[in-house]
Chains A and B, each alone.
Chain A
Amino acid sequence: MSFNIQKIREDFPILSRKVNGYPLVYLDNAATSQKPQQVIDSIVDYYSNYNANIHRGVHTLSQEATDAYESARQKIKTHFNAKEVYEIIFTAGTTHGINLVANGFSDILKKDDEILVSAMEHHSNIVPWQMLCDRTGADLKVIPMNEEGTLIMEEYAKLLSERTKLVFVNHISNALGTINPIEEIIQKAHEVGAAVLIDGAQSCSHIKPDFQKLDVDFYVTSAHKMCGPTGVGILFMKEEWGNKLPPYQGGGEMIAEVTFEKTTYAGLPHKFEAGTPNICGGIAFGAAIDYLNAIGFEAIEQHENELLEYATEKLLEIDGLKIYGTGHKTSVVSFNIEGIHPYDIGTIVDKLGIAVRTGHHCAQPIMDFYKIPGTVRASFAFYNTMEEVDALVNAVKKAKYMLS
């Protein structure tokens, strides 16, 4: 499929609605993406035609639902090039996946072990590790970043030692858009025998990571940021870790045999999938991956980079505007205008139909680093247009005029 932006936009019903009397300009894609008709149809189709519980029934509907759910898992495995399909564990999303791993390490970590986390993490990738440190007596160390919003790799190398057991870094920062050098991070961690978890909540809508090539131990992401529904995501876990970590939640589906004396757990991935999963969500996640691949990640990346370059250039023409995150990055522009609170800008541009995010973006340590209360963040997806960038820039100019 060639990249035809008008045709792509027609796939997204929401993009034709109006907000406050203006055509919607949706630039909050880092929070969640919009959904194409193909994904919406897959949800309607599931509930209209083959809704049933999976892995349990011998009846036809149950078989159909199980096949669709498992074929979504297979699609996801192929997409990310995991070695085995059972290394893909369905979760409720990124946060759930991180907590599952953090919980699994409760019994593995010992006092004085160290875990490293980057200075630009989402609260989802900070709080569970703090809780883990509280439980185990391990220490949390922070990989610092520079003014550009880029991790300082020399400092990372210095922090690594044989005490390091785990490293957690996001692939792409939601607040700054920085793309972190995860290949190098993983390789260096492995040299000291530490495992690595990559938070891919922001990355998988922009690029296509290859799990085997990365040699990553754990990788988590959410479907809702990649045109899929909310409430579903995946945790990729290398087989050896899958065997090592204890189950997270007990329940149906995750067992092999239960007596009141003893339960043996099911194999991967079911060991980590207690209870009836989000069946429809998993299937729709598969449909979203098909959709993205039909457009093609090369085309997506190219278009998004054009949007990023154009938006950066135009916004910087505004006097007093500063962009945070200026290194190697994806299509996120986080900015402030001197003397104006980001919340004020967000309020005015919303009145003009433009959806941006304001605030600390669940990454307070980054805001503390820059000593700012928050930023205005415009995050672009492949369905955004140059005209929408113009609308954003004009709205920001108007806001600046009103507010200064």
Chain B
Amino acid sequence: MAAITMKNIVKQYGDGFPAVNDVSLDIADGEFMILVGPSGCGKSTLLRMIVGLEDITSGDMLIGDERVNEKAPRDRNLSMVFQNYALYPHLTVFENIAFPLRLHKVSDTQVKERVQKAAALLELTEHLDRKPANLSGGQRQRVAMGRAIVREAQAFLFDEPLSNLDAKLRGQMRTEISRLQKRLGITTVYVTHDQVEAMTLGDRVAVLRKGVLQQVASPRTLYEEPVNLFVAGFIGSPPMNFIPAAVADGELRTPFGPMRLPQTRSVDLSGREMVLVGARPEAFEDAAVVSDTVRDHGMTFDANVDVIEWLGNEQYAYVPYEAPDDIRKRLAELERELDSEAMRTQLVVSLDATSRLAEGSAAPLWLDLRTVHIFDPASGDNLTVSPTRGVEAPARQSGQSTADRGSEAGASDEDSRPQTPQAGAGEGTASG
């Protein structure tokens, strides 16, 4: 077990294209770190540099306290699960799992014992004599995991290990991996482009965009305080709504009417003409079901509800609106970058399942202004979040900060939130 430290890591491929650009990241001993981002953003490249399959163009890679830039993969003592499992087709499941042990000249009795143990943990015992070709996708995945956990590696590296499985199996294996990591307590770096995996598995999540690190934070911070448009749009499903707003007389003019930000969300708008207001679908509500005590914290507006999707436990309403051309272009660009298909000039609104809004009707909607974010449309920066939030310290803080938040939720909304939250402290977001 060891910490992994990256200092200004750069990777340029032969054509000079920087696939990973100046990434600095501390992964604490025993931490579960997620690398997430759209496909092609350099996640695999970064992982392969950690494991030693890709040369590092510049920067330092430390495992434990040792610089490993020049070390061959076998001297780094890391184990990796590849996206397509990379099982050895000519070996049985037993020998596949035993392979690393055989290379390390472990005695036969030891091999047997450890493989049996790993197989039992992964429920592979009855398949030990079979060849990988005869296994199902989920079983192959588990064999790959078995091969990774059978030896005492310093860290586990996963490269999109679940992307080849169907949705149901993916859910099961996700839980499995989470359980396994908690039990073994080994430093883990997990690459994925699936945000459900990113949000549920990790202690911290590192968001990459075109090889550049955007934000490193706990899933909750990432969700509640994204540092820029990219992170805000990438994390969350359905994604955050971005509403164009013109700045006039210290007020925001949106297609849904004027918006007066509460104290906790107010930002310096001087010198700006246009901003984007980011609001999660769940920040909206059917105005009819909003209780009077909170109504004042938000704005109520009339919306043309286009389509309603009722999912049983909740429902989504779609509200189209008009946006200026340049904003529309900017949003389309963001969409492309995020590989998302959401139509950005419509609001996606999450409503209470009991709400009885009808499709194609005009209805009053309520937006909770305490949780909105203001983005600079040009740079994409989140003006409501201090820039120091970009990289959150590695700490066993996920548990602690959840506790903090629990008490906060009780004390609730009147707490005025510090304008610039200190990095590292349990982040104080007042949200419902």
> Real complex partners, A and B?
no
Query: A residues within 8 Å of B by Cβ?
Result: none
Query: B residues within 8 Å of A by Cβ?
Result: none
